[in-house]
């Protein structure tokens, strides 16, 4: 087994590294550890916009990254340790999460934390979740990865993942907002993610005598960064890959009431209808036609609106007011 400690706190880099390592080490077992700066990691099959508080995420400059595995959206920050086991699929039961959560539980139980695996893939203490786990299979290998909330900013977690479910109608996987807690309440005061990372690494080495540490090479880092730039940093992957959905939102502006209905396919607006009690000098169908083929993404729509005479469609409004109907 190779034990890899990521040198980066960039979520784009670390999520990309999981896919890179599948190709780099097609047969070796790997235990990867990483810590991300504030970021939201959404499941592969989720509608990203339905999972996040977009205004808050943009204001706080929180990265949003889609991972390869399914499951729900999670918040990462420097108080959250992430682990990732890579192994041959044929050697393990894909539906069994217990084998690769056992080292985490063994360590915590040894430290006096009454942690347990509950349900299929959650680790709990006193009935509160501190770790969620997900899996994926690709190219004959399996990855099981999970989070460990040590001292995460719970207020930010709650605000960043707060979205209005009424705005979206889709068949994407929804996140389950379980009660969560930080392990810092159960560990010695001042315990850091670095200390927890070292303890968990020691636990893995103790139970895998052949395990050895592996430091990413210059070529590895270049390969991960290339994948990051081509995929994991892109709007197409993080937002456009979302399942098809219908979006609707109503806003009140000085010019009147405006209600927006969109059908979005692969992140692009395919159908658009706008209703309201505003007074327009130009047919609203012209505005609707301008929306077709645009990304359902704030910056793209801002660019479009800057080129349109919005007053002729809605009366006395600004682009900033109208854009609120599309968030």
pLDDT tens per residue across span 13-62: 999 999 999 999 999 999 999 999 999 999 888 888 888 888 899 999 99
- Distance (Å, rounded) from C-alpha 299 to C-alpha 291? 13
- Token pair, residue 176, equals 């389950």
**May I ask the CATH architecture of the domain 2-240?**
2-Layer Sandwich (3.30)
Question: Helices (DSSP H) in 48-121: which residue ranges?
Answer: 48-51, 54-59, 98-110
Report field, pTM of the whole predicted structure over 0.85: no
- Give me the residue spans of the domains in the chain: 2-240, 245-326
Q: Is residue 97 a contact partner of residue 167, using CB atoms and an 8 Å limit? A: no
Class of domain 245-326: alpha beta
Q: What is the pLDDT of residue 171?
A: 53
Q: Is residue 161 a contact partner of residue 109, using CB atoms and an 8 Å limit? A: no
SS3 176: coil
The rounded mean pLDDT for the chain is 89
- Distance (Å, rounded) from C-alpha 125 to C-alpha 258? 47
Q: What is the pLDDT of residue 248?
A: 87
Q: What is the pLDDT of residue 316?
A: 82
What residues in the chain have per-residue pLDDT under 50?
Answer: none
- Distance (Å, rounded) from C-alpha 50 to C-alpha 162? 9
> DSSP secondary-structure letter at 302?
H
């Amino acid at each position: 087994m190779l034990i890899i400690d990521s040198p980066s706190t960039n979520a784009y880099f670390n999520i990309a590294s999981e896919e890179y390592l599948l190709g780099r080490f097609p047969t070796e077992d790997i235990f990867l550890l990483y810590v991300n700066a504030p970021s939201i990691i959404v499941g592969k099959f989720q509608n990203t916009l339905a999972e996040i508080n977009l205004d808050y995420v943009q204001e706080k400059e929180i990265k949003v990254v889609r991972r390869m595995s399914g499951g729900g959206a999670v918040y990462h920050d420097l108080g959250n340790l992430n682990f990732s086991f890579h192994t041959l699929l044929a050697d393990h039961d894909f539906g069994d999460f217990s084998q690769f959560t056992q080292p985490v539980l063994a360590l915590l139980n040894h430290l006096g934390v009454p942690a347990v695996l509950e349900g299929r893939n959650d680790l709990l203490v006193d009935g509160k979740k501190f770790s969620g786990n997900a899996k994926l299979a690709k190219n004959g290998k399996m990855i099981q990865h999970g989070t460990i909330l040590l001292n995460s900013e719970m207020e930010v977690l709650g605000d960043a993942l707060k979205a209005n479910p009424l705005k979206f109608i889709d068949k994407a996987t929804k996140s389950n907002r379980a009660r969560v807690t930080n392990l810092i309440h159960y560990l010695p005061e001042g315990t850091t993610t670095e200390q927890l990372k070292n303890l968990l690494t020691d636990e893995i080495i103790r139970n895998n005598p052949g395990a050895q540490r592996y430091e990413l090479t210059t070529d590895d880092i270049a390969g991960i960064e290339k994948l990051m730039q081509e995929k994991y940093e892109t709007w197409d992957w993080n937002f456009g890959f979302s399942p098809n959905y219908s979006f609707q939102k109503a806003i009140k502006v000085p010019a009147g009431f405006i209600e927006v209905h969109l059908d979005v396919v692969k992140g692009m607006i395919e159908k658009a209808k706008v209703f309201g009690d505003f007074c327009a000098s130009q047919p609203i169908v012209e505005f609707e036609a301008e929306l077709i083929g645009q990304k359902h993404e704030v910056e793209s729509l801002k660019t479009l609106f800057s080129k349109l005479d919005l007053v002729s469609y809605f009366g006395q409004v600004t682009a900033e007011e109208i854009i609120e109907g599309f968030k």
